[in-house]
Structure 1
Amino acid sequence: MFKTILATGTALAAFSAISPVHAQDSLPAAESAAAEGGSGDIIVTGSTRAQRRFDVSYAINTISSEDVEKIAPVNFADLIGQLPGFQTEITGGEVQNIYRIRGLPNDGGFVSFQQDGLPLFHENDGVFFRGDAILKQDLMTDHVEVVRGGPAPVYASYSGAIINAITVTGSDTPRGKAQLTLGDTGLYRLDAYQAGPLGKDTYYAIGGFIRYHDGYRDNGFPNDKGGQIRANIKHDFDNGSIKLNLNYVNDHNVFYLPIPTADPRDPGVSLDKYIDYFDGTMNSPALRNVNLMYRDGAGQIQSRTSDLSDGRHMQMVNFGAQYEGEFGEWLVSAKAGYTQGKLDFTAFYSTTNPADGNSFAASYLARATTAFGAVSRLGYVLAGTNTVYDPYSASGLVMQGQYRDIHSKFYSGQANLSVARKFETGIGSHDIKLGVYGSLYGESSRTLYQNYLIEVAGKPRTLDLVAYNAAGVELGRVTDNGVLNYAATLNRGDSDAKMFALYANDTWEIIPGLRIDAGIRHERYSYKGWAALTTAANLGKVNTLADDSTRAFTGAIINQTRKPDVTNWTVGANYDFSSHIGIYGRASHLETPPNVQTVMSINPTVITTKADQFEAGLKLAFGRSYLYVTGFYTNFDPLNASFLAYDPTTGRNDVNVPFIGEAQVKGVEFDGSLSVTPWFTLNGALTISDPKYKNFESATGADPEQAEGNQIVRQPKIYGNIRPSFDFETAGTDISVYGRYTYMGKRFVDLYNNTALPAYGTVGAGVTARRDGWQMQIVADNLFNAHGLTEGNTRTDSLSGQGSAEAIYGRPIFGRNVRFVISKSW
């Protein structure tokens, strides 16, 4: 039924794109252009020069501030996920969510985040952060332009898609806005900006946000705290302009990980009464004063404390300059920026499924007997105490979790210079762009993981597993204050990189409406770095097994260098039958080199990913209604689907499962807007695809044949949304009433497609009232508390699933939540 509703909405949008033709054709030219809505947006991303959305020969969307208001996203991934071809997972929290473009088998590494056409960090994925951690949506974003496929590989590195946030700039008319958001999840957020003139031809804009949020799940401590500020100064010349900008981020964001949802002994039994589906999390105040221990390179035991509530603490500053000028027939653009920051990241990751309390204890009996002597029985106590804990007074289960403590510093300087010229020939006109891009960047990291034993509960308490003799006297503990394994993973490294790229693009308009464009980009990289070597060690603590098998630094390092190079290209053709109907086709080749982190890692999987992408599109635009239909096909060869699995014996994420093969994705996406009357609009986005694995090989004995032809992990075959909006005026007040239905199809957690993530759909709604510069809004998400999982337990189920037909361990979508927004514009 949900699929039928979604398809019907898209079909209505298609019908609407055709039906208003006679009425709209009679409009004067200026009025018609003003009424074009999304089809008439002026875009700059992936293009030689600014042009209408309808005129480009690739798939692009513009998200305006009005769109943001009506979508009312819970985070940036939620906003992007409303577009066709983008499947996002929004359940990790405010940042570090999943962005997948047209089934490309990656969690975000093929999506380039940019601000005003330049990335803030050259690579798409840093050490446990990506673009949404350093570029956050607020009132200083004028609009967002999103390119799907098309020329993205030529205009950015590592890119199957570009997300480009265009910032607010000042003008001769002063303007500003202040906005307060309150949410029933303990959300308090203040956004503001001010823009205007500084002097003759000189303008400024400054704004940002500050926010405190208890969270969508109950951690026992705040989820988000901090904010962002952005500012720019622009000066106009007779032939162009220059803009200077500054960004500063200082923000804490807690990360949500998967939780057990059903009893592995009987998957039909829900664990909701112990760890609430919508509110529960393994994050806990019990992990706010964690003691981390390891041996350094000199053999000395080091310890430090860590606090889970710090979450992902991002501190980043960026400053840059942008120049654009016209010199006769030449258009010159120069952009440069420098970013420096550090990330301190703490999170509590899922590992293995919950286990029966008696069975888990029995699995340690032999080791405990060897270590402590004649063990009569093993029992549980609350960590660090002698208070008995009986698992069977609750779920009868206990479970493991992995505390991760990561510290990284990063820098990235990047510059882009391009020149463009349009000239006439005997056969049409050419608009040629030549450019050079370069970046100097690097990262360092210190990583320590250690494993804990916990109860199955929201905000779980940590447990100790105690060995007793026949007289009931304690002999020793398997754990140590809740710790199962100290320093199960220990890494340290540093890396630096330099790269440069040459690119060119030619748009050839043979006759009016018929255009052919082609582009090429060649990149050369040079990496150098080092990684600290580790070995197995014992910390020497008595009466515990928790320190028997840890990792310790040896004092030695390995130095590594790499010099990858890649070449990307695109070729497209477009024919517009009129200003209302057009078609296009395009082929692109994308190569992504291994990232700089490979030279500060020990034995990484190093592979250059290659993808050939083909797309063909139909464009229909009449007045404020439009429909874009794009068919696409992508072939990845080689595709690296290798992963590190969790080994419960050692407590380490060190079981390398190499899977190298191909991925083939074919499908069609619909992007439509129906606007028959001034007071009603229906927007819809729908993607239907067939993402599958092909020709896999494995060197570790895993059976690649079981993955042949399977659906790509966590990729649905169908997803989309419908967003109706009613806009009218009453008693001098402008009212908007809007809704959103979002559908996510069935997916699988594993390469073998043994365990499914069921399909789900959610409903949201909102109302906005505007009068005399004031605006009030009430918006709600997941009104009916629909259930849905966005991932399984990737540490243990990536190959063959969870032993159940449907996932019993995963990251649930957020439950019903409501926000109230009041703002004043001037």
Structure 2
Amino acid sequence: MKSPNTLLLSSITLAVLTLAQQAQAQAQAGADQAPSPAASKEVQAEIQQVVVTGVAAAGGIRKVDSAFSITTANEEQLKAASPTSTADILKLVPGVYAEATGGQSGANIEVRGFPSGSDSPFVSVQMQGNPIYPVPTLSFFEGSSAFRLDDTIERVEVLRGGPSTIFSSGQPGATMNFILKKGTDTPEGSIRFSTGTGELRRVDLFYGGKISDGWYGTVGGFYRKTNGVRDAGFPADDGSQITATLTRKLDQGELTLYARRTNDKNAFYTGVPLISSNEGRSISEFPGFDPLKGTLMSNEMRRFTVEAGPGKTLNYNLGDGRGLKATVFGAEFDQKFGGWTVSNKFNRFDGDMNTIAMFTGNNPLSMGAYNTAALKANGGTAATATYLDGTPVADSQQVVQAGLWAVEKKMKSFSDELRVSKEWMKDNVVTVGGYFADYSSDDTWYLGSSHLMTAVPNARLINVKLNNGVVVANNGKDGPVFYAPNASYDGRNTAFYISNGWKLNEQVRLDAGVRRERQKLDATISQLTTGDTDGNPLTVYNNNTSMPTGAYTALHRSDSATSFTVGGNYKLGKDSSLFARANTGHTFVSFDDLRNAGSQAKVDDRNVLPTPKIKQIEVGYKTVGQLFSAYINYFHTEFDGIAFQQILANGNILNSVSGSKGNGVEVEFAVRPVRDLTLNLTGNYQDSTYKDNPLTAGKQVQRQPKLQFRFTPTYRVGLGENNAVKLYGTYTQIGARWADQANQQYLPKYHTVDLGALFTFGEKIELRLSANNVGNQLGLTEGNSRLTTGNSGPINARPLFGRSWEASLMYRF
């Protein structure tokens, strides 16, 4: 019997060959004919779509001619997707699964077959081809958190695998590149007002045009305030952003400067109480708690204090959440002269990426059960539980524990990439490049500070005292800070690469590249001890508080690695092609890996932190036509040596090293059976499992569904006098996943339906209505990441947002 992988590869090969034969027949039949005049503007735009991400040439290459997997979305496609955050855009991309239910920031993003437990280690976020921050993820930072969407964005390109191991920051997973609008000879401007769920109030502005001969500029931004779908009683999102570009047209070249300032506060949502049954296969509402719109956060706990040491208390505000207060400045320069092409891109990032948020701990239990456990641990014969106003808490009241964590991160970076290209023989272009990045992060952490609260929306805090004088919970606080390091990290990456692109004939293009990179990390990390912040052993909630000793440990690590790619494209017709690609890539040890491994992080025969290695193979088919468009590819991944960390509810840290392997298929398909009707299908199937670690070998890679897809029909209705309405909707299905490496916490499959309508009145006015999760489907994106096993009964987990709506009115001028 054939293996599933063999059957999968056979099916994909058959499908690709069938489509290829059809496309080749069509191409031969119409080889001497001009493009069909019936092709719509949208199809013509797709045919001419040029991508610049992962391409050696400064001018880019047509998407349909590219020899790699890349998804693009223009301004209208981005708005129609109605993303709840930057990370939520990735629902448009097959092979990527984004858990965007934490709010504007703090998403977990998984890439096809790449093993990751949280954050987004294999997704780099770029603006104008520059990494906003050279490292894609750190503890309490993932790249999409450093970018906010607004009307200054022209399009986004998401490259998966392919040649990305060679260029820019060398990301082997996915590169998400946002392209800003630039000024043109035709001035354009817009103002957009939005309202919606959570008393949303938002205004977006944009203007761009010609300043003088050869000079062009744009400026735009937003202001927004909302209570969000999960109303905590205080604003969930409150902030603004402004972006500007300045472009100078040169003789055979161009220079663009850009700057962006963001000051945004975003509440961060973690798990809520739920009922799990049938070993996690069934999830239902916890009594008295709406999992679609409820949050434990409340005004009662919004402002909280951290007991950081004897006589040292710090004040924080949950409304600050996982915010962004940062400035980005960059430039891109392209110039041709004397047969040479020079390109240079640099970026400077300086900002605060703090996390002030609630993190759920143990599963819900009754007040009586909590009191019994408190008495067993601390002696005494009776416990008294009261709310902060002194009224008693019934023993039957369900309660939960959640930590109010404070993490301060001050981050800076500078990156620069220089490329020089020359056609040294006919149709053969060599590109030589260099990449440099310097980056730092100054961290102060206070993890823990467990608080006891009711298991209801907008929870109330609870005090607990025993009759022997022990104070178990005071102002709700029933646990100390369990991990309080402060540290300074510095990193430097230097890379050199060479790439060669060769057009053999009108049908065949080949390219290959090699990159050599070195990383150096230095860190100064506080040594920790534990102590009692008030010197009173009866106040057990602050005993054993983690705090720095005043002494520091210096750590250092240097690594080098080589990446390689080779690929080719075979044109079947004017607008259809086959491609194949293989690459090897790597990721480096991060600041947090260095801290966790301590002195063992050095490179030698006892090294517990190897440099992860990745191998990828892709075979695909692309075609664009009036009747249908198709982007289909098969992929295979091999991953070796990735380090994992999990912080448990009791403060213990689990570390492990593993690898993975996977096979899968990605599809982007659009059918236009009749005029004004488009049927889109995107998705992927994958079979990715762990290897190398006997505790997890053969288990499904965590958080990644085997099957996910989105089906989006769109229909346009003309209303006469240049007026029209476009109706669209999306059915999304996400397959079952495991929340952990050992495949103990089951996350059942779920589906959602989103709807939208765009009314256009002439060329000036647009009215857009959208609704997400209109069926109020209950689906989990994350289990309790601070527990190692799943169980039936009350649990904490992070579900989808409930039904929400938004309306926006735009005027173009």
Same fold at TM > 0.5: yes
The one-letter amino acid of 2:422's match is: R
SS in structure 2 at match of 1:364: helix
Correspondent of 2:715 among 726, 739, 744 = 726
What letter is aligned with 2:625?
A: F
Could you list the runs of 5+ residues in structure 1 that have no partner in the other structure?
1-6, 370-374, 470-474, 698-703
- CA-CA distance at 1:95 after TM superposition: 2.0
2:390 counterpart residue number: 386
Aligned to 2:3: none
| Aligned counterpart, 1:324 | 334
Residue 631 of structure 2 corresponds to residue 628 of structure 1 = yes
**Is the deviation greater in 209-218 or in 674-683?**
674-683
Distance (Å, rounded) in 2 between the aligned partners of 1:636 and 1:796: 26
**8 A contact 1:530–1:599 mirrored in 2:** no
Match of 2:784 in 1: 793
Q: Which residue does 1:254 correspond to in 2?
A: 267
Contact 1:232 1:243 in 2 (8 A): yes
Name the residue aligned to 2:693. Answer: 696
2:740 to 750, 772, 776: 750
- 1:399 aligned residue: 400
The number of equivalent residue pairs is: 777
Q: How many angstroms does 1:162 deviate by?
A: 0.9
1:92 corresponds to? 102
RMSD: 2.5
3-state SS of 1:70 partner: helix
Cα drift, residue 600 of structure 1: 5.2
The one-letter code sitting in structure 1 at the alignment partner of 2:342 is V
Structure 1 residues 227 and 498, CA gap change in structure 2 (3 angstroms): same
Aligned equivalent of 2:587 = 592
Does the CA-based 8 Å contact 2:279-2:791 persist in structure 1?
Answer: no
**Counterpart selection for 1:513 from 507, 515, 519:** 507
Between the aligned partners of 1:166 and 1:265, the Cα distance in structure 2 is: 47
- Counterpart pick for 1:151 among 132, 153, 163: 163
Shift of 1:488: 1.7
1:26-48 Cα offsets, whole Å, 9 max, x none, are 86349569634434311111112
Percent identity between the two aligned chains: 26
**For the residues of structure 1 that align with 2:52 and 2:506, how far apart are their CA atoms?**
21
Please say if 1:162 is aligned against 2:167.
Answer: no
Matches within 5 A, 1:442-521: 442-449=440-447, 450-468=449-467, 475-521=469-515
**C-alpha distance in 2, partners of 1:386/1:177?**
55
1:132 aligns with 2:132: no
Match of 2:249 among 226, 229, 236: 236
Q: Displacement of 1:802 after TM fit?
A: 1.4
2-structure distance, mates of 1:607, 1:454: 42
Letter in 2 for 1:180: F
List aligned pairs for 1:523-602, cutoff 5 A. Answer: 523-539=517-533, 540-541=535-536, 543-599=538-594
Distance in 1, Cα, partners of 2:40 & 2:252: 26
Aligned to 1:700: none
Q: Amino acid of the residue matched to residue 691 of structure 2? A: K
Structure 1 partner of 2:805: 818
- Give the alignment of 1:401-420 within 5 angstroms: 401-420=402-421
SS in 1 for 2:672: strand
Cα deviation for residue 786 of structure 1 reads: 1.2
Q: Quote the offset at 1:770 in angstroms.
A: 0.8
Residue 774 (structure 2) aligned to one of 772, 780, 783: 783
CA distance in 2, matches of 1:736, 1:163: 28
Equivalent residue number for residue 670 of structure 1 = 667
Matched, 1:377 2:382: yes
Match of 2:53 among 22, 28, 45: 45
Contact 2:65 2:576 in 1 (8 A): no
- Contact 1:18/1:622 (<8 A) preserved: no
Gaps of 5+ in 2: 1-10, 602-607
The residue identity in structure 1 corresponding to 2:647 is L
Paired residue type of 1:390: A
Which of residues 28, 34, 50 in structure 2 aligns to 1:28? 34
**Are residue 123 (structure 1) and residue 135 (structure 2) matched?**
yes
Q: Secondary structure at the match of 1:478?
A: strand
3-state SS, counterpart of residue 120 of structure 2: coil
Q: 1:278 to 1:33 in 2, by over 3 A?
A: closer
- Deviation of 1:720 (Å): 1.2
The answer (yes or no) to whether the contact 1:16–1:626 under 8 Å persists in 2 is: no
The 1-side partners of 2:31 and 2:93 are apart by 28
2:4 is matched with which residue?
A: none
SS in 1 for 2:126: strand
Quote the Cα distance in structure 2 between the aligned partners of 1:503 and 1:265. 53
1:315 and 1:570, CA in 2 relative to 1: closer, same or farther beyond 3 A? Answer: same
Give me the whole-angstrom Cα distance separating, in 1, the residues matched to 2:522 and 2:81: 44
Whole-angstrom distance in 1 between the partners of 2:279 and 2:109? 34
Contact 1:189 1:211 in 2 (8 A): yes
Residues 27 and 815 of structure 1, relative CA distance in 2, 3 Å threshold: farther
The one-letter code sitting in structure 2 at the alignment partner of 1:51 is I
* Partner SS for 1:275: coil
Pick closer, same or farther for the CA change 1:319–1:487 going to 2, 3 Å.
same
User: Following TM superposition, by how much is the alpha carbon of 1:623 offset from its aligned partner in structure 2, in angstroms?
Assistant: 3.3
Spell out, residue by residue over 1:554-583, the C-alpha distance to the aligned partner (whole angstroms, 9 max, x if none). 110001111112221111122112224321
Letter in structure 2 aligned against 1:488: F
Partner of 1:198: 211
SS across alignment from 2:573:
coil
Q: TM-score, normalised by structure 1?
A: 0.90
Q: Residues 409 and 755 from structure 1, CA distance in 2 versus in 1: closer, same or farther, beyond 3 angstroms?
A: closer
1:345 maps to: 355
1:258-312 Cα shifts (integer Å, max 9, x gaps): 11211799988955342211111122212222121122xxxx4311111111112
- Cα displacement string for residues 728-757 of structure 1 (whole angstroms, at most 9, x for unaligned residues): 311221221111111100111232323321
Aligned to 1:362, what secondary structure does the other structure show?
A: helix
Tell me the secondary structure at the aligned position of residue 542 of structure 2: coil
- Native 8 Å contact 1:112 1:157 kept in 2: no
Q: Deviations over 1:471-496 (max 9, x none)?
A: xxxx2321222111222221100011
| Aligned-partner SS, 2:377 | helix
Q: Structure 1 counterpart of 2:609, which letter?
A: V
1:736 aligned to 698, 719, 726, which one?
726
1:684 corresponds to which residue? 681
Give the residue type in structure 2 aligned to 1:711.
Q
Letter in 2 for 1:778: L
Q: How high is the TM-score relative to the length of structure 2?
A: 0.91
Post-superposition Cα deviations, 1:225-248, rounded to whole Å, max 9, x if no partner, equal 002111011010111111111111
Contact preservation (8 Å) 2:663, 2:686: yes
Contact (CA 8 Å) 1:17, 1:627: kept in 2 or not?
Answer: no
Measured after TM superposition, the shift of residue 424 of structure 1 is: 3.1
Cα distance in structure 2, aligned partners of 1:730 and 1:206: 33
Inter-partner Cα distance in structure 2 for 1:60 and 1:536: 50
Residue 306 (structure 2) aligned to one of 272, 292, 296 = 292
